[in-house]
């Protein structure tokens, strides 16, 4: 299935400055990667095939890239972004200290390097079988308009494992309710292994209770949960209103897996027939979600086609158990965050949305009754012909001591924003 906004989507906050090789008449065999003034424990580097073909000898169809540091091969993921059977990008993680420069040898091979390494990112979506087991991990799936939420008083298991697609890395996990609620939720993790293929398959194990791997830590209710979507727009009477991407008017939802570890996982959600209000035209929404190893966030790229003039894309954070929201403002980025004893385990949880200044429009706090979207601190984002991008962070205290206080969570977010500064790649 073709993802119709693929060409508009761009990796955000992985800004890489690429400098041409010193000798333009000779193909490159090395990458020099130079860091700026902040430590990067696991920087995600993404290189496009089109760029590699210009720089590397013999990169013909069917060939792969091997990167070596000091003779040791790195874990390099080859991703087919457009589904044509040929990889379009490579992705790898590279630890970089402040001011550090690393040299990587570049080779072309008939197969990717065989490197024993842990899987650091995973996405899965599974449907329930007739015998109450769950089937194979699906590459694509569709639910029709009006797909109901599971009534657990009538059935012990939902039609999809944990009610919809779930994605995780070695630090945190998330899930989507694949039905009219269309909300996003958080899995707090206390293990680095990939666990979400197992969670929810056994009714004797309640994932809302703390287990050795972690638990579902968020109550979503009628909020935007952990970065769900809505549209700020005018209704027929010209009154400002906030309409969630959900309900029968949302239309069908199409899921498509793009990449599945070991470095990063990517999937897409398409909403081809959303009518935000009965009086509005059809709006086509596409969202691409990525997660990679070592981070406490997922990244979302969202495109709106046919949105009413003047409307704003909105995403938010549930505030059912938080007392106030706070912000961080820099020259290039804005963050909205909460920190409180707001997990379902009644321990500390920090949540944040980080957006570029270009995308940011305004902050919103929703009413807590008599409205479609409730109990939410939200960010309104400018819409354009390009993808709108944000990151949603979840810092649960049992996952990491740096989330033990509001002060340390804020310090963490500040460093995350500082890491948006560029690294430089030189071909030689």
Predicted confidence (pLDDT) per residue in 317-352, tens digit: 999 999 999 999 999 999 999 999 999 999 999 999
pLDDT-derived band of residue 36, with 50, 70 and 90 as boundaries? confident
Model pLDDT for residues 132-168, shown as the tens digit of each residue: 999 999 999 999 999 999 999 999 999 999 999 999 9
In degrees, rounded to 5, the angle at the alpha carbon of residue 79 between the alpha carbons of residues 426 and 36 is: 30
Sequence-separated (6 or more) residues with CB below 8 Å from residue 80: 86, 87, 88, 258, 259
pLDDT-derived band of residue 278, with 50, 70 and 90 as boundaries? confident
3-state DSSP assignment of residue 371: coil
Instruction: Tell me: pLDDT of 289 over 60.
Output: yes
State residue 237's pLDDT score: 87
Instruction: Tell me: pLDDT of 368 over 50.
Output: yes
State residue 385's pLDDT score: 75
State residue 27's pLDDT score: 65
Quickly tell me which residue has 């990008």 as its tokens.
Answer: 89
Query: From CA 93, how far away is CA 352, in angstroms rounded?
Result: 23
Instruction: Tell me: pLDDT of 69 over 70.
Output: yes
Quickly tell me which residue has 């060939």 as its tokens.
Answer: 63
Q: Which DSSP state fits 361? A: E
State residue 19's pLDDT score: 44
State residue 279's pLDDT score: 73
Peptide bond into 331 cis (omega under 30): no
Instruction: Tell me: pLDDT of 14 over 50.
Output: no
State residue 280's pLDDT score: 76
Percent of the chain with pLDDT over 70: 93
β-pairing, 423-427 with 16-19?
Answer: parallel
Who wins on pLDDT, 207 or 13?
207
pLDDT-derived band of residue 6, with 50, 70 and 90 as boundaries? very low
**What is the average pLDDT score of the chain?**
92
Instruction: Tell me: pLDDT of 3 over 60.
Output: no
Query: From CA 416, how far away is CA 295, in angstroms rounded?
Result: 10
CATH fold, domain 6-118+423-427, is Immunoglobulin-like (2.60.40)
Residue of 222, 205, 195, 169 whose CA lies nearest to 394: 169
Model pLDDT for residues 89-147, shown as the tens digit of each residue: 999 999 999 999 999 999 999 999 999 889 999 999 999 999 999 999 999 999 999 99
State residue 37's pLDDT score: 83
Tokens of 89: 């990008």
State residue 28's pLDDT score: 60
For 154, counting Cβ atoms within 10 Å of its Cβ (0-12 exposed, 13-18 middle, 19+ buried), the class is: exposed
State residue 9's pLDDT score: 43
* pLDDT mean over 254-263: 98
State residue 266's pLDDT score: 98
Query: Does the global pTM surpass 0.85?
Result: yes
For residue 287, list its beta bridge partners: 269, 302
State residue 18's pLDDT score: 45
Instruction: Tell me: pLDDT of 21 over 60.
Output: no
Query: From CA 144, how far away is CA 354, in angstroms rounded?
Result: 32
For residue 169, list its beta bridge partners: 121
Sequence-separated (6 or more) residues with CB below 8 Å from residue 60: none
Which of the listed CATH numbers 3.90.930, 2.70.98, 2.60.40, 3.90.320 matches domain 121-418? Answer: 2.70.98
Question: Taking phi first (over 0 means left), then psi (-120 to 50 degrees means alpha), and beta for anything else, what does residue 294 get?
Answer: left
Taking residue 247's Cβ as centre, other Cβ atoms within 10 Å add up to 17
pLDDT-derived band of residue 15, with 50, 70 and 90 as boundaries? very low
Instruction: Tell me: pLDDT of 182 over 50.
Output: yes
Domain ranges of the chain: 6-118+423-427, 121-418
DSSP per position, 202-264? -TTS-TTS--SSEEE----TTS-TEEEEEEEEE-TTS-EEEEES-SGGG--EEEEEEEE-SSE
């Amino acid at each position: 299935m073709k993802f119709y906004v693929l060409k508009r989507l761009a990796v955000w906050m992985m800004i890489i400055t690429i400098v041409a090789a010193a000798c333009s008449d000779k193909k490159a065999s090395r990458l020099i990667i130079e860091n700026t003034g902040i430590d990067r424990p696991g920087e995600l580097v993404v290189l496009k095939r089109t760029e590699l073909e210009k720089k590397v000898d013999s990169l013909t169809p069917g060939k792969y890239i091997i990167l070596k540091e000091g003779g040791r091969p790195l874990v390099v993921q080859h991703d087919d972004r457009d589904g044509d059977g040929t990889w379009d990008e490579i992705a790898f993680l590279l630890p970089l200290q402040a001011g550090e420069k690393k040299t990587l040898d570049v080779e072309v091979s008939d197969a990717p390097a065989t490197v024993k390494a842990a899987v650091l990112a995973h996405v899965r979506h599974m449907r329930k079988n007739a015998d109450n087991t769950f089937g194979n991990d699906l590459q694509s799936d569709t639910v029709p308009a009006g797909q109901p939420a599971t009534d657990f008083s009538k059935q012990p298991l939902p039609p999809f494992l944990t009610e919809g697609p779930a994605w995780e890395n070695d630090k945190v996990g998330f899930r989507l309710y694949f039905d009219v609620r269309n909300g996003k939720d958080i899995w707090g993790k206390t293990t680095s292994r990939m666990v979400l293929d197992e969670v929810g398959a056994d009714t004797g194990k309640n994932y809302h209770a703390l287990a050795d791997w972690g638990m579902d830590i968020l109550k979503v209710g009628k909020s935007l949960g952990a970065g769900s979507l809505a549209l700020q727009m005018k209704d027929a009477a010209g009154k400002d209103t906030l309409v969630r991407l959900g309900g029968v008017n949302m239309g069908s939802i199409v899921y498509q897996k793009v990449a599945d570890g070991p470095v990063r996982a990517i999937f897409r959600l398409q909403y081809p027939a959303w009518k935000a209000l009965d009086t509005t035209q059809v709006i086509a929404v596409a969202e691409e979600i990525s997660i990679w190893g070592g981070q406490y966030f997922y990244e979302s790229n969202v495109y709106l086609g046919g949105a009413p003039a003047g409307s704003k894309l909105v995403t938010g954070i549930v505030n059912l158990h938080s007392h106030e929201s706070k912000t961080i403002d820099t020259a290039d980025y804005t963050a909205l965050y909460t920190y409180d004893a707001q997990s379902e385990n009644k321990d500390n949880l920090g949540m944040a949305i980080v957006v570029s200044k270009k995308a940011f429009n305004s902050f919103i706090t929703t009413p807590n009754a008599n409205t479609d979207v409730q109990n939410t601190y939200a960010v309104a984002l400018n819409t354009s012909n390009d993808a709108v991008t944000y990151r949603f962070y979840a810092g649960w205290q049992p996952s990491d001591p740096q989330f033990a206080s509001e002060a340390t969570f804020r310090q963490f977010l500040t460093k995350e924003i500082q890491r948006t500064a560029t690294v430089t790649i030189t071909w030689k």
